[in-house]
Structure 1
Amino acid sequence: MLTLAFRITAGMMALSLGLVARAQEMAVIFGTHSGGPGVGFSIANFDTASGHLTDPQLIMQAEAPAYFVFDPSHRFLYTCGSPAFIAAYAVDPSTGHLTLLNQKPSGGGDPSYISLDKTSRFALVANYQGGNIAVYALRPDGSLGERTAFVQHTGHSVDPIRQKHAFAHSILVDPSNRFVLVADLGLDQVFVYRFDATTGSLTPSNPATFKVPPGSGPRHITFHPNGEWAYLVTEMGSSILFYKWNARHGTLTEKQQISALPSGFTGVSTSAEIRVHPNGRFLYVSNRGRDSIAVFSIDPHSGRLSIVQDVPSGGKTPRNFDFDPTGRWLLVTNHDSDTAMVFRIDPQTGLLSPAGTPVQIRRAFSPRFLPLQR
C-alpha cells in the first residue's frame, strides 16, 4: 500500500510539474558573433514541456552582441560587443523585447565575457584582445555607470601565435562575492583578485595567480552549487581542471586534470563552454572541431569527474549553451553551421538526446532562457 501510495503521490507531483511547465511562458534570446544590417538579438519561443523551440526572429539590430547575461530579475540585459564596448538593455517582461539604455567603452579590444557580481550592482568584463579586465557600476535604472576598476595583464606564454600576449577570456565573482577569478588564455594563468562589493574595486589576492599547464589556454571557469569546487576548461588543451576552492583565502588547489575529448580522438578540437548542471551531479563542455558536447558525472563526495558521454552537437563549432529553468533541457549554439539545437537531459544519468531538429540562427552565439509574464 505504501508503494502504491508513493506511486500515486509521485504521479500527481509529476502531473503538477508538467502543468506548471506548460503554463510557463518561456522565450530564448540569442546573441550573434556577426555585425551589419539585419543581425543582432533574436528571440524564439520555448516549450518547457516538449522542448520545442520555434524559429528565432530578429528583435533588435546590434553589433555582434556575442556574450550576454540577464540580471537575476530578468529586467536588464548586459552584453559585450565588437569592437570594444559593453551595453545595457531594459527587457520587456511580457514580450522579451529590448530597449537600449546606454553603452560604455569596454576598456580594450574584443570583449569576450561579461558577468555580474552577486549584488547585481557591478558588471565585470574581460577584454580578450586587450588582455585586460574592467568593472563598471550599475545604476538603479539598470544602466551602466562609472568604471570602478581596470587591470592590464602583461606577458606571454609558450605558443608564439595564440599566446604572444595576454588574452583575458573570462571573469566572474566567486560564490562568496569576495573574490574575482579571471582566466587568461594568453598567459596560461588564472588570476584571483579581492573584490570590494561596496566600491567595485579590485586588488590582487595572495597568491595573485595560479598556473595551468603551458600551452593549454584557460578559457572559462564555473563553480559547483556547493561553492567549494571550481572547474576550469582550457581552450587549447581541451581539458578540464578541477580545483578545491577556499573561499576564505581565495585559493585554488588542483585535484584533477581530465580530457574534454573522448579517448582515442586524434583530430583538431578546442573546448569552449563549461557548465555544471543546477543539480550539481553533472558537468557539460562544448568541443569545437570534435563538434560535440561532453558529459561528465560529478562524484558527490570528492567532486572528481568521470566522462559518461560525448554526443554530436547537431552542427559545426558548438560554442555556448545553457540549461532551461526546469533543468530538463540543454540548448547549444553551433556557430559555423548557423544553428541551435535542443537536447533532453536524462535526470538520472545526465545523458543528452536530441529533441527535434536544429533551428537556423546566423552566427549563433549565447542562448539565454527568459521567463515571460503574460
Structure 2
Amino acid sequence: MDTKALQSRDDAVGGISRRGLLKGTAALATAAAAAQWVPAWAKKTTPTILAYVGAYTPNGQGIYLFSVDLSTGDLTLIKVVAAVPSPSWIALHPNKAFLYAVNEISNFNGTTSGSVSAFSVNPSTGDLTFLNVVSSQGAGPAHLSVDPLGQFVFVANYGGGSFAVLPIQSNGSLGNATFVQQDLGSVGPTKATNAPPGSFAFSGHDAPHAHMIQADPAGKFVFGADLGQDRIYSWLLNRATGTLTPNSPAFVALPPGDGPRHFAFHPNGRWFYSLQEEASTLAFFSYDATSGSLTAQQTVSTLPEDFVGTNFTSEVMVSSDGKFVYAANRLHDSIGIFAVDPGTGQLTPAGDEWTRGDYPRNFNIDPTGSFLYVCDQRSDSIATYEVAGRKLEFTGQYTPVGSPACIIFLQV
C-alpha cells in the first residue's frame, strides 16, 4: 500500500475523517456563538438610577447627588450638585432635562418672599447647571410641582399663604409668575377635630398656609392644599395665559383643624388621597376627571389604634402598582401602610414600620419599586427599606445627610 493510501486510511479511523472532524468542531463553535448572541433589543440591562436629595441649610448643603445600588438599595454620595438655600422640595421636568427647587426662605431680593431655582440636568451624569432663580411670590415656599405637559411650575408658599404659577421657558428657565392666589380667609381651630387622644398637634391655623399644589394626571385641573384653612382648592388651568380659574365648587372643606398637608392620585386617576397633618388621618376621595370634583368616601387614622399623644403627618404616596398607600408620621416616627381595595379604592391598615430616625419629613420609592427611602430630618439621615409586598424591611443602611427634606430619582 502506498503512502497516500496509508494516510487516507488513518484519517478515516472510526468513520470520521480529520477534515470532517475539523468541520464539525467549527460548526459547534458557530452554534455556541449563535446561542450566546442576543439581539440588542432583547437584552435586559439593569437601569442606572441616581437620587437627588434636597436638604435644609445650613445644616444641609443644598442638593445632593447619589448613585443607587439596585441590588442592595445603598446610596453612594457623588457630590453636592447645587449649593442653594434650603431646597426643601425638588422636582424634575417630565422630560427629565430640568430640575426645579424651592428655596424655603423669607427674604428674596429684599422682598418678603421665597424663591424657585431652575437647573438643567446632564443626561449622563446627573450634574446640574444653574439656569435662573425667580420669586415664589410668597414667603417660605414648601412645595412645587411641574405641570404634566411641562409648561408650568406650580408653587405653594407656606409662610405667605399663597399659590403661584411660574411659566417654563423654552430653555427650561422660569419666567415671572403668571398667577398668584393670596389666601386671606378664616382659619381653623387650634386643635384638630380628628386629633388622636392626648394630641397637642398644632401646625399653623394662625393664618392660611399653602402646603401643596399639583395638577391632576391629565393637567386639566390643579389642586392646592391649604393647611391653615382646612381646604383643598380646585382650579381649571388656562394654558394660554398660565392662570387658574376657581372650579365649581372652588374647594372641598376638611374637618376644622385637621390640616390638609399633601395629597396623591392613584395610578388609575380616579382616586385621590389627602393627608391631614394635625389629625393624623388619610381622607379618600373619588375623583371625576371630567368635572374636577372630589367626593369624600372614607377617613382612616395613620396611627395604630392604641396610639395616644401628639403626631404630625408629613408625606403620602401611592405605590406604582396601586396596591398600597404609604403615610409618614412624625413623632410616632413611622410609615403607615394601607392596602387599597382594587374595586373601591377603600383603605385597610396593613401595619406600620419604624423609620429608624427622628421626624420623617419625606419618603420616596425608586423607579423600579424595589426600595423605599425615608428622609429623617432631625436625625440627619436617610433610612433604606426593601419593599416586600405589604411590608417594609430595613436594609441596615443609614445615609448621612444634614436635615434631609426631599428625595427624588432620575433614571439615566
Q: Structure 1 length as normaliser, TM-score?
A: 0.91
Q: Which residue of 142, 151, 161 maps to 1:131? A: 161
Q: Describe the superposition over 1:212-242 as per-residue Cα deviations: whole angstroms up to 9, x where unpaired.
A: 0111100001100111100000001110000
Matched, 1:285 2:327: yes
CA distance in 1, matches of 2:337, 2:234: 28
Q: Describe the superposition over 1:26-46 as per-residue Cα deviations: whole angstroms up to 9, x where unpaired.
A: 21111012238x711111110
Report the counterpart of residue 68 of structure 2 in structure 1.
Answer: 46
Which runs of structure 2 are paired with 1:135-284 in the superposition (5 Å)?
Answer: 135-155=165-185, 156-159=187-190, 162-284=204-326
Report the counterpart of residue 125 of structure 2 in structure 1.
Answer: 95
Task: Check the 8 A contact 1:267/1:289 in 2, yes or no.
Answer: no
Matched, 1:74 2:96: yes
The offset of 1:258, in angstroms, is 0.1
CA distance in 2, matches of 1:165, 1:35: 27
CA distance in 1, matches of 2:61, 2:217: 35
The offset of 1:202, in angstroms, is 0.4
The letter for the 2-side match of 1:50 is: T
Report the counterpart of residue 29 of structure 1 in structure 2.
Answer: 52
Look up the SS of the partner of 1:316 in the other structure: coil
In terms of mean alpha carbon deviation, does 220-229 or 89-98 score higher?
89-98
Q: Describe the superposition over 1:299-352 as per-residue Cα deviations: whole angstroms up to 9, x where unpaired.
A: 000000011121001211001111111111111110000000111111xx3311
The offset of 1:55, in angstroms, is 4.1
Look up the SS of the partner of 1:170 in the other structure: strand
Q: Describe the superposition over 1:252-284 as per-residue Cα deviations: whole angstroms up to 9, x where unpaired.
A: 110000001111111321100000001011111
CA distance in 1, matches of 2:42, 2:341: 28
In terms of mean alpha carbon deviation, does 171-180 or 237-246 score higher?
171-180
CA distance in 2, matches of 1:367, 1:119: 22
Task: Check the 8 A contact 1:137/1:145 in 2, yes or no.
Answer: yes
Task: Check the 8 A contact 2:146/2:153 in 1, yes or no.
Answer: yes
Q: Which ranges in structure 1 are unaligned for 5 or more consecutive residues?
A: 1-15
CA pair 254-61 structure 1, distance change in 2 beyond 3 A: same
Report the counterpart of residue 7 of structure 1 in structure 2.
Answer: none
Report the counterpart of residue 195 of structure 2 in structure 1.
Answer: none
Q: Structure 2 length as normaliser, TM-score?
A: 0.83
CA pair 147-19 structure 1, distance change in 2 beyond 3 A: same
Task: Check the 8 A contact 1:32/1:40 in 2, yes or no.
Answer: yes
Task: Check the 8 A contact 1:116/1:123 in 2, yes or no.
Answer: yes
The offset of 1:56, in angstroms, is 6.1
Report the counterpart of residue 347 of structure 2 in structure 1.
Answer: 305
CA distance in 1, matches of 2:83, 2:101: 13
Task: Check the 8 A contact 1:67/1:112 in 2, yes or no.
Answer: yes
Task: Check the 8 A contact 1:222/1:276 in 2, yes or no.
Answer: yes
CA pair 138-45 structure 1, distance change in 2 beyond 3 A: same
Size of the aligned set, in residue pairs, is 352
Q: Which residue of 341, 351, 360 maps to 2:383? A: 341
CA distance in 2, matches of 1:115, 1:136: 10
Task: Check the 8 A contact 1:56/1:361 in 2, yes or no.
Answer: no
The offset of 1:246, in angstroms, is 1.1
CA distance in 2, matches of 1:265, 1:18: 50
Report the counterpart of residue 8 of structure 1 in structure 2.
Answer: none
In terms of mean alpha carbon deviation, does 127-136 or 244-253 score higher?
244-253
Cα RMSD for the two superposed structures? 1.7
Task: Check the 8 A contact 1:18/1:49 in 2, yes or no.
Answer: no
In terms of mean alpha carbon deviation, does 27-36 or 211-220 score higher?
27-36
In terms of mean alpha carbon deviation, does 270-279 or 42-51 score higher?
42-51
CA distance in 2, matches of 1:234, 1:181: 15
The letter for the 2-side match of 1:355 is: T
Matched, 1:107 2:107: no
The letter for the 1-side match of 2:243 is: S
Query: Would you identify which runs of 4 or more consecutive aligned residues in structure 1 move more than 4 Å?
Result: 16-19
Larger Rg: 2
Report the counterpart of residue 364 of structure 1 in structure 2.
Answer: 404
CA distance in 2, matches of 1:336, 1:17: 46
Task: Check the 8 A contact 1:31/1:367 in 2, yes or no.
Answer: yes
